[in-house]
Structure 1
Amino acid sequence: MKGNAVYKRSYNGCLAMCGSLPLGAEMPSENELSQALAVSRTTIRTVMAGLETAGILRREEGARRLARHPEPDDAFPDMQTVSTSATVERRFLEWILDGHIGPGHLLTAAELARQFGTSTTIIREHLPHFQHFGLIERRPNSAWLFKGVTPAFANEIYEVREMFELRAARSFIELPEESAPWRRMRTIEAEHRALLESVDTDYGRFPDLDERLHRTVHETADNRFIKDFYDIISMLFHYNAQWDAEDEKQRTFTALTEHLAYIEALLRRDVRAIDRACRQHLKTARSNLLRSIDLRMKVPVGPDASPA
């Protein structure tokens, strides 16, 4: 099976289509899939072969038909479906949130290229992405000023998150119950209930569950800006979890109960309950992030500066 990001992204895209079809349905033509996923017909043919090998599709009288619905494990992990340049963006965000630099630090493309083992060209292409979010500011002589994750930054980004999440939630409840996102949401609900039962010992599993819940909602919006924005949110949760370990078990319990209220409202398609549960959960998340930023500001910055 091919190992490149384009193939894996296309494979996951076809899985999503398969999840919305009834068993026995005929897949769209290679030309239609090529246009829908913006890839070549050669890539589509390779993807179709992979789906047949996995037993998801079967050949029948010259047509490819759905033999079984995809399971979550059939999909490639998100990190394997992104390009090298997008991976560099994620690594850069992880690096700054891990506390290697503080507000006021000057960055250069050459320094970052050495840090991440990539070219200065890729660095220069993607630093402006973080300028858009207000994390860095361009300075003379090809330098960039890191402005830091501040309380003002957190408040602004959570205001945008609330708007995007509520918009994406509207998209989610418009999908049919047999769609792949709805099936994933039911699985996520069951995992939440199981974790709630074992939260005393398993609360460390929550960050992954949190990301899968919100990403499932965000991706149904079919909006590139909402999807790109969620990568920033995901990293901020990582930041919060790393720097604020105090009362983590209790905060996890609170988040699980808020999530379940949100999930139940989504599955009931109750717009008012969705709005109420979503806003409450995001309000709590913002408070937790602001506390973690306050803790981070009290810790020395540097390669060895990490929470005890």
Structure 2
Amino acid sequence: MDRPELPLPQLHAFVVLAEELHFGRAAARLGIAQPPLSQQIRRLEDKVGYALFSREPGRIDLTPAGRELHPAARHALSHLAAALTAAREVGSGRAGRLRIGFAASVALTVLPSLLRSFRQRFPAVDLDIAEMTTTPQLAALRDRTIDIGLLREPPPHDAELDFETVLTEAFVAVLPASHPLAARRTVPVEEMADCPFVLLPRAVGPPLYDQITDLCTAAGFTPHVTQHAVEWQTVCALVETGLGISLAPESIRRIRLKGVAFRRISPDTVRTRVAVAWRKNDTNPLIRAVLTALDHDAPDGLSTEGARSGQRQR
């Protein structure tokens, strides 16, 4: 990019004098004496190569060259002022663009209250929200295609990313409403041993998948998975058709399907974590704004033990 030929102080002095057409008033607006103002104008005219003002006793006016330069100079200064304001807003975290990835089940817990709180505090920020499972979120954070992730079961250690647990949930059994186990208030996990299972593929969230299969292993069996679905909404829909049963985070109760029953399980000792994730050393002030919003707004209406841990993983 070519270096601008016109220094901003000279351009500013020219615009003010063109508006006032009086050296005394223009100098007063600029907060300088008349001789420095005259010097600025002379330097600018030297750069242009032509006089910008006609000077007569008691009167000055724009020359044709001055009239040509004036609207462009005003436009340039106005755009620069707007750009400086925008830069300050983005730098302070009051404006800008934030790209958020979220797991579908998080839309049933953390996401709605977070977005409401963030929008109230930062109405000028553009939000770009993308639904994706945990593994793609981790990749998108590393590739810098999202800035914040809301995911389940973050890895215990990561060289590039930081995590903060925002919610913990129990697991529940997901059953067809007509299933014999649905008549129980609490379902022993070992009694699910002979049932076909519908689960998310392990690839979309290995830690969560392993938690579910470990629950079964601890009860003495390996789940017979006959169907996979990438989203919990689809898992529940397949359960409703009678294709199998499932184990899911308790927030999945919020998926209302007439033919699906959700029941507590026994033993009820395993918890799944929802976490916010971001890149280590990311200087984007909007990251801090999201963490602040999460600090102030707990998920609403969730009947789990899920309190915030408030501890960040490093």
TM-score by length of 1: 0.22
Higher strand share: 2
Task: Please identify the structure whose Cα radius of gyration is greater.
Answer: 2
Higher relative contact order (CA 8 A, sep 6+): 2
TM-score by length of 2: 0.22
